[in-house]
Structure 1
Amino acid sequence: MSEQPESALPPSGFEAAWCGTDLGTYRACRYTYEHYSLESLPPLDSHQFEGTYRWLGGVGDPIPRQVVKLNSLEKALSARGLTLPRDFVTFQTSENLHGSLDDVSVTGCWTNISEPLPSPVEPGAFLVRFFQDQQDCVIWYLYLRPTSETFVVYSDIDYEYAYEARRDGEETQTDLENAEEHRAAILWCAPSFEEFAHRFWVENRLWHAVNGNDLPRLEPQLQDYLNHYAPPGALT
């Protein structure tokens, strides 16, 4: 297995893991989701992540309502000295791409983009929720730093709800002032949105294949991914 490129390594101060489901008998999962170490995952070819999404059929026509929504979010972030990554904007505004992760999710995850949410662990940094489990078991965020560094994290904490509850004076189990608690609750999982989207798309399609006895018709990139967990002859 090849070494992770430096850009794929988690930033200092963040624990790293991948939150995913089982892959049938090829990868076990004790509950709905499991936290898998990055070292245990099949490596991805970082050269394919150019923001064009060729692995998903390429970019389609823009969706006007999504363009308006993302422009509004970009304006709100710009006022804080932050910018959205281009691969994220492309995905969320393209007719061919938007909703692709919702469609393939085996656990009912759905796209739900939030306003900028202050990071509870780092002054000047912000979170933008973009994807969540239907029962809020796990929520994925863009993590935006003033240095222009952006990566994907996940947590079981709904930070939009936590900040709204604090604003409204409601009691919650989340202490937003406890940075140590949130360092443990926010896990790094991908160096870019496109890499997150690719791994999520591949794994969820594989779930359908291994649980639907559809392995003989796997596309080469999906078969290569599954071969990481089993000898090549095991797929026949």
Structure 2
Amino acid sequence: MLVGSVLVFPRGWYATDLGSYRPCQGTYEAYAYESLPPLDPAQLRGRFDWLGPPGPPDEDGIALLAPISAALATMSLALPDDFVRFVTSSNYRLELDEASVTGSWSDIAGPTRSPAEPGAALVRIFSDQQYCASWYIYLRASGETFVVFDVDPYPAEPAYPNLEDSILLNGDFSWCAGSFEEFAYRYWIENRLCEALHADLGTDLTSDLDRYLDHYRS
């Protein structure tokens, strides 16, 4: 949707259940963004302190981002610092993969030019194992970056289209986080919470999970 000359995406969060506190009709459901627990901005400073120390540089992550960064530079765009820090730190890079209860993984690819906005591009960062959803960093010429998701981005089976074909054919994106760290933290904590609740650990949650769940208890 255009507001003035600015493209505005619908807001939402595509995720699995949180036990009986937030039921889900299938593997995933789209939840209204406004229904989610608020996050403490002081905790999200682009440093991922909630994951502990970053560890040594991750050579695979560095190599993975190098061609993407080079391609973005030709478009006068750049990956956000928090995403670069996450992917190039050995203690961070695969944290979301390990936390995922649905087998989602760090499926990094791109960039692809936005079909809807001149000068903007997308970099895929995460996908469900069966590609029923993918998440992207959206980069604007203004320097603004945020995370969007696309449900069922690969509708053609069994021959999936490539990334650019998928976006051009089915790019129905929703905004889900104002920064990569915001997306990563909410995904990480919700998947840990889902696993704990299904393991019947509801009375013995860690403090961070318990605080997050308080939003649904009230």
- TM-score, normalization by structure 1: 0.83
Among 143, 167, 190, which residue is 2:177 paired with?
190
Segments of 5+ residues of structure 2 without an aligned counterpart are 1-5
Once the two structures are TM-superposed, the CA of residue 161 in structure 1 deviates from its matched residue by 3.3
RMSD over aligned CA atoms reads 2.0
- Distance in 1 (CA, whole Å) between partners of 2:134 and 2:163 is 15
- Distance in 2 (CA, whole Å) between partners of 1:126 and 1:222 is 34
> Quick check: 1:100 aligned with 2:100?
no
1:91-132 Cα deviation digits (max 9, x unpaired)? 111111011000010111011111201112111110100100
Aligned pairs (5 A) from 1:21-60: 21-60=16-55
Aligned to 2:79, the other structure's residue is in SS state coil
- Distance in 2 (CA, whole Å) between partners of 1:42 and 1:175 is 30
Aligned pairs (5 A) from 1:46-195: 46-156=41-151, 157-158=153-154, 161-162=161-162, 176=168, 182=171, 185-195=172-182
Equivalent residue, structure 1, for 2:210: 223
Tell me if the contact between 1:152 and 1:190 (Cα under 8 Å) persists in the aligned partners: yes
CA 175–20 in structure 1, closer or farther in 2 if over 3 Å, else same: closer
- Distance in 1 (CA, whole Å) between partners of 2:145 and 2:63 is 22
Tell me if the contact between 2:132 and 2:154 (Cα under 8 Å) persists in the aligned partners: no
Which gives a bigger RCO, structure 1 or 2 (Cα 8 Å, sep 6+)?
Answer: 1
Tell me if the contact between 2:82 and 2:180 (Cα under 8 Å) persists in the aligned partners: yes
Tell me if the contact between 1:118 and 1:125 (Cα under 8 Å) persists in the aligned partners: yes
Count of residue pairs brought into register by the alignment: 208
Once the two structures are TM-superposed, the CA of residue 191 in structure 1 deviates from its matched residue by 0.2
Q: Which has the higher helix share?
A: 1
- Distance in 2 (CA, whole Å) between partners of 1:126 and 1:52 is 24
- Distance in 2 (CA, whole Å) between partners of 1:175 and 1:84 is 19
- Distance in 1 (CA, whole Å) between partners of 2:84 and 2:154 is 22
The farther-off stretch of 15-24 and 53-62 is 53-62
Tell me if the contact between 2:150 and 2:173 (Cα under 8 Å) persists in the aligned partners: yes
Aligned to 2:98, the other structure's residue is in SS state helix
Aligned to 1:141, the other structure's residue is in SS state strand
- Distance in 2 (CA, whole Å) between partners of 1:74 and 1:30 is 38
Tell me if the contact between 2:110 and 2:123 (Cα under 8 Å) persists in the aligned partners: yes
Tell me if the contact between 1:139 and 1:158 (Cα under 8 Å) persists in the aligned partners: no
Q: Which has the higher strand share?
A: 2
Among 193, 201, 217, which residue is 1:214 paired with?
201
Identity %: 47
- TM-score, normalization by structure 2: 0.89
Higher gyration radius (CA): 1
Segments of 5+ residues of structure 1 without an aligned counterpart are 1-10, 166-173, 232-236
CA 31–93 in structure 1, closer or farther in 2 if over 3 Å, else same: same
- Distance in 2 (CA, whole Å) between partners of 1:196 and 1:223 is 19
